[in-house]
Structures are given as structure tokens and as C-alpha cells.
Structure 1
């Protein structure tokens, strides 16, 4: 399992072959999406996101497999993967950025932050700045954020036939609880 997290961190570019001390990782990031539309609300959730956080530099990376999102209705899930997200062609979504504020992971508290970086969804990379919260409690670090993603910004086409079923903007909620990378092998 530690090797998987190191590979994720290497892919994200946050660590090199000689992983520095002080990196944090989360292997079960919870990501939800919500679309409110006149005919039907659409919700999905994934608990399979991966993330690496370097508190020394503020660098942060997230990655999630599109097919890991689960819907209450199997037909919704099928349409999401095949018709909208084209999961075979674009199997992953990612974010790589930096927390703009300095976070001391040794000081307990709840800290509002902004994160600037690149959101890569459906093969389209877009610069984003999102607000979030970092909570530190006795060495435990958790992060959460809620932000909107416009389908058109990532070339996700909504056929006119179903435009009343799917909103043009999707609410994303992300939450992760991190532990030091060197503790995850235990």
C-alpha cells in the first residue's frame, strides 16, 4: 500500500525518489457531485480518491478514477460514464495545486484557505482557485472544499434532449483526512 501512495505522489510531482519527511497522504478521499435540475437531481459519490499534501511547500494533489463514482440508479451511472464523462477515454480526474496560505500542521485549529492550481477533467485542464478549510487536531490533518464546475468548461456536452435533467453546473464536495506518508505502511 505504501508503494501505491509513493507512486501517486511521484505522478503528482510532489516527491522525488528520495521522499522527504513530512508528506501527508489520504487514500480514501470522499468526493461527491450534485446536479440540481428541474426534472431530477443527480448525486454520486466516490470514496476512492487519492491525495498527497506537502505542508512545507503547500503543494497538494488529488486524483480520482471516474468509474469510482457510484450513483443510486445504475442507469445514471452508465450514462455518466459512457455518454458524458467518456470514462474509457478519460479515466481520471485530477487537481494539482498549492495552498496559498501557510499551514502549521503542529498547531490545532480550523483554517480557511484558498488553493490555486489546475483541474483536469474530461481531458481539459483549467486553472482554478477554490476555497476550502484545513482542520488540524493533535496531528490529524483534514481538508474540505465545495466548489462548482461548469460542464462546458471541460467540454462535457449535455444533449438538448436531456438538458432539463442535468444542470450545466455541478456542485463538487471534497473531503480528505490525511496521515503522515511514512505511517501508512504500518
Structure 2
């Protein structure tokens, strides 16, 4: 009887450990965008992205402070925040969705897994459905997430003045590069 109880205890303890490590998070995620334009390329990086990934359900959320995008030129950053995304009025972009094939990712094996992400991206107070692929790599207890997708300013009701409209690409490439750590308790 004692070996059976010990086995049951070990199974329950193992399950509890797996569930405790089911959520991964970051406060320093990296998202950047690139616009290939005739006059001048536009690129900006943001290293203050907060994200949580629940490995048991695949639920995925991002919060992106818009005024944290850093441009090469200060004037570009000012125009971006004041004239285009209106970061005083719309301080954050967000994504809420799901990794639909999360069950294919084995947390016990270091490997890269192709994943499909679906959800809703909110920028400038407007929502857009996103369906994209990415890579989720398991590496020594951490998760490394990468993805790329494209959007247009018009999809988020971001108005570009006619004078500079030809200086900005019609489609803007968004790059996601996140390193998740296991979330312990309420540490985020």
C-alpha cells in the first residue's frame, strides 16, 4: 500500500510542477517595425513589451507602450507619437489571442516548434484580426518566441498626411522577438 501512495504522491507532485510552470512571461520583450520607404527607411524598436503565455491553454497577451518605440531620429519619434499613433490618447497597443497548436510544444525538450497564432491586435483604438505563424523555441527552461507580420496604417485609422504619404511604405512589417521566463506566483 505504501508504494502505491508514494507513486500517487509523485504523480500529483509532478502534475503540480507542470501546472506551476505553465505560465511564462516577460517585461522586456522586443517588438520593432520597419517601413521600406522611397525617401527614407523608418525603423523603431521597443524593449518594454509585457507578455504572458499560458502553455496549458495557449492563451497569449501582449501590452506594448507606444511611447517606448525608439527611432534613429528624434523628430521621427515625435511625429510618430504626436501625429500618427497619438500615444497620449492611445498609450498602449495590445494583442490578445492564442497559440492554436500549443499542444505540439514539448516543454521537456529543447527544440524549435512552428506555431500558429490567432487573435486581435489593437492599435490606435482599432481592432484587427491577426493570423500568423511563428517559432516558439524551448531552450533550457525558457521560451523564445519569434514572429513577423504586416499591417497598414489604414487598418488602424492612422492618417498619414498627403505631403508625406509617399515617404511611408503601404505595408509595415512588425517583428516580435520575446524571451519568456517561467512565471512564479504573482511576480509580474
Same fold (TM over 0.5): yes
Instruction: State the SS of the aligned residue for 2:28.
Output: strand
Match in the other structure for 2:57: 57
Q: Which structure has greater helix proportion? A: 2
Alignment: residue pair count? 166
Root-mean-square deviation over aligned CA pairs: 1.3
Alignment of 1:10-159 (within 5 A): 21=20, 22-101=22-101, 102=103, 103-159=105-161
Q: Point out where structure 2 has 5 or more consecutive residues left out of the alignment.
A: 1-18
Counterpart-to-counterpart distance in 2, 1:50 and 1:98? 16
1:165-176 aligned within 5 A:
165-176=167-178
Distance in structure 2 (CA, Å) of the matches to 1:50 and 1:64: 7
Q: Please report the TM-score for the alignment, with normalisation by the length of structure 1.
A: 0.86
Partner of 1:16: none
SS of the residue 2:71 aligns to? coil
Task: Give me the whole-angstrom Cα distance separating, in 1, the residues matched to 2:147 and 2:171.
Answer: 16
Contact 1:55 1:104 (C-alpha < 8 Å) held by counterparts: no
Secondary structure of 1:80's match?
helix
Q: CA–CA distance in 1 between the matches of 2:131 and 2:107? A: 22
Q: 1:168 offset after TM fit, Å?
A: 2.0
